[in-house]
A = this chain, B = another copy of it.
Amino acid sequence: MTTTSTDPKVQQWVNLAQQLRVDSIRCTTAAGSGHPTSSMSAADLMAVLLTGYLHYDFDAPKNPNNDHLIFSKGHASPLLYSLYKAAGAITDEELLTLRKFGSRLEGHPTPILPWVDVATGSLGQGLPIGVGVALAGKYLDKLPYHIWVLLGDSEVAEGSVWEAFDHASYYKLDNLVAILDVNRLGQRGETMHGWNTTLYAERAEAFGWNAIVIDGHNFDEINQAFAKAAKPDGKPTVIIAKTEKGKGVSFLENKEGWHGKALNKQQEEQALNELDHVRSQTFPVQKPENLQPAPEAAKKALELPTYDGKEAVATRKAYGDALKALGAANPDVVVLDGEVSNSTFADEFARAYPDRFFEQFIAEQQLVASAIGMSVRHKIPFASTFAAFFSRAYDFIRMAAISHANIRLSGSHAGVSIGEDGPSQMALEDLAMMRAVYGSTVLYPSDANQTVQLVAAMAEHDGIVYMRTTREKTPVIYTPEEEFMVGGSKVVHQSDKDVVTIVAAGITLHEALQAYEQLKSQKIMARVIDAYSIKPIDEETLMLAADEAGNKIVVVEDHWPEGGLGDAVLEAFTMRNGPIPDVVKLAVQSMPGSGTPAELMEEAGIGANHIVQAVRVLVRKA
């Protein structure tokens, strides 16, 4: 806005930027809430991007050549939606439905809108996900599209942003441009570093990026910055723009106390007067070249590995074997790992298909974010680390569900049965965490042949799909011919004399099978169910077991009592509004230390002997 140029291009930017400001105010005032001032600071930046640099076909959001525009500062959604209006994608009428019940224009952007790649609004996620999209663009699609990520200055305090900076330069993502809107003011006052744009530039450069510091309201500087940033030179670029929050309206500009506040009608009138007038002009956006993504190897029939049962096999090993088989069959399968691929066995895929393996180092937020970015580009990402360390990325997983992302996560080393490493490495809350994700699928196989089938099913399954694998080698109890599916279970033992059902999964199934033999020798017949699909759980089989086996169930799991297999079994009954059988939950009730797997299972009360004891107490009560 400091430009007085008569250049028609500049005049167009001025007009567009003013329209974006006007619309950001109008829609938030109509909503009675929202973030007009955080939108206004970035209006000049986005005006130049939309008409000068973005390549996007708004009529064909699935065009693989489209650029990607991610608002990491999701609260600036009024600006994003105003951009969509300026591009002709939505009407002024729809714009004014912002934040209303049933509107596609939610308080923070979600992919209900076809031009939105991912949900944002939890700060510090847009850039890491942009890194994932950029990895796909540069190394898989091999298309020249750009990823433009608008960041707020407050969110640069998030460590996840620095994981993204680190990875973007490591992977030479020169298709990625971050635009940092340094408007100085956070929610409750000044940000950590105010207008210290030099500091931001030094940090970005130390992290291997090009940094361009500009006045974010000077169109010439903005234009030159974008021109430079758009040219690939082996490095990602961040444009660090000094801006004013509320820019363009005298009583909002750089004023505290205006974060996340809509103007009332009188204030709106005053603001619109200053901004000249309401307009609904449509501005031209360049369409992308019509190129084809890098040719993919043809899909082949999947040939899963099989296990003959002569040797015990860890399910994590079977996971790695299955990944490799999937890699051979389907060129869309990509694998990411958090620097533990020799433990998760993702290294089998890495060795076989190095071009589709992306090392994410000890940075679990970026690990999940990269998977989400791959999902944006319709790849089939599998991301693995120790199960406990997905807790580092829980906010990303939560948001991935809002993003409708299709990602597969595999956590190895779960539960006390990992043994000597101690509790920091033991996932004992992963099932609770993953079950409480909208639309998630949670799998926990007990056997190698079962694992490979479920890994194959994961590739075909939408949403957030999590598999817990086991560190220890366990007996192979199923033949390669037996079938396993999402939502299924396996009745391993049953008879018409069953008086109780034991439900187990993963490592505890093997304890349950030992318990079965002990109980049988004591003339107590137990049905044993392998509930390998924890969410969705096989309600039918559980109902039938309750009916046929004395309405008594013992559930045993290597997990805290809260939120795991036991609660999943109860859920099956409460959701049907049916009567609930007597359920006893065996779970880990005290903080484990180090020890052998057997010692720790025994100590935790989830070994075979404890199952036998629990069954005997429950049956005696009858």
Contact = CB atoms under 8 A, between A and B. Distances in A.
A202 interface: yes
Interface stretch (A134-142, A174-182, A286-294, A396-404): A396-404
Given A122-B389, A361-B186, A107 B432 contact: no
A14 interface: no
A424 B401 contact: no
A469 to B, nearest CB: 17
Contacts of A395: 364, 388-389, 391-392, 394
A7 B369 CA distance: 53
B122 A392 contact: yes
Interface stretch (A46-54, A245-253, A444-452, A577-585): A577-585
A388 B123 CA distance: 11
Contact of A567 (B199, B402, B562): B562
Interface in A109-132: 110, 112, 119-124
A580 B580 contact: yes
A106 B170 contact: no
Interface centre among A74, A429, A580, A621 (most CB of B within 10 A): A429
Given A119-B424, A398-B388, A124 B362 contact: yes
A436 B434 CA distance: 11
Interface in A189-246: 191-192, 199, 202-203, 205-207
A585 B562 CA distance: 16
Contacts of A101: 593-596, 599-600, 603
Contacts of A303: none
B107 A422 contact: yes
A425 B107 contact: yes
Contacts of A570: 567, 570, 574
B436 A424 contact: no
A421 to B, nearest CB: 4
A322 B7 CA distance: 59
Contacts of A108: 421-422, 424-425
A400 to B, nearest CB: 11
Contacts of A438: 428, 560, 591
Interface centre among A202, A203, A392, A394 (most CB of B within 10 A): A392
A33 interface: yes
B433 A435 contact: no
Given A100-B595, A394-B391, A423-B119, A159 B436 contact: no
Contacts of A154: 339, 361-362
A463 to B, nearest CB: 11
Instruction: Please give the count of copies of this chain that the complex contains.
Output: 2
A99 interface: yes
Contacts of A282: none
Given A429-B398, A432-B562, A574-B570, A121 B203 contact: no
Nearest to A159: B159
Contact of A435 (B110, B205, B432): B432
A342 B600 contact: no
Contacts of A621: 577
B423 A402 contact: yes
Contacts of A424: 74, 107-108, 110, 119-122, 399, 402
A431 B429 CA distance: 13
A342 B394 contact: no
Interface in A140-190: 154-155, 157-163, 166, 170, 186-188
Contacts of A585: 574-575
A420 interface: yes
A103 interface: yes
Nearest to A618: B577
A491 interface: no
B577 A584 contact: yes
A8 interface: no
Nearest to A97: B594
A548 interface: no
A185 to B, nearest CB: 11
A276 to B, nearest CB: 29
A295 interface: no
20 contacts: A33-B420, A33-B421, A99-B420, A99-B595, A100-B595, A108-B421, A158-B363, A159-B161, A187-B339, A187-B340, A188-B341, A205-B206, A391-B395, A394-B433, A401-B591, A402-B423, A432-B563, A433-B433, A436-B560, A577-B621
Given A121-B424, A187-B342, A392-B395, 6 more contacts: A101-B595, A102-B593, A121-B425, A159-B160, A159-B366, A562-B563
**Across the A-B interface, the 3 shortest Cβ-Cβ residue pairs:** A159-B159, A121-B424, A101-B595
Interface of A: 31-34, 74, 99-103, 105-108, 110, 112, 119-124, 154-155, 157-163, 166, 170, 186-188, 191-192, 199, 202-203, 205-207, 339-343, 347, 361-366, 388-389, 391-392, 394-395, 398-399, 401-402, 420-425, 428-429, 432-433, 435-439, 535, 560-564, 566-567, 570-571, 574-575, 577, 579-585, 591, 593-596, 599-600, 603, 617-618, 621
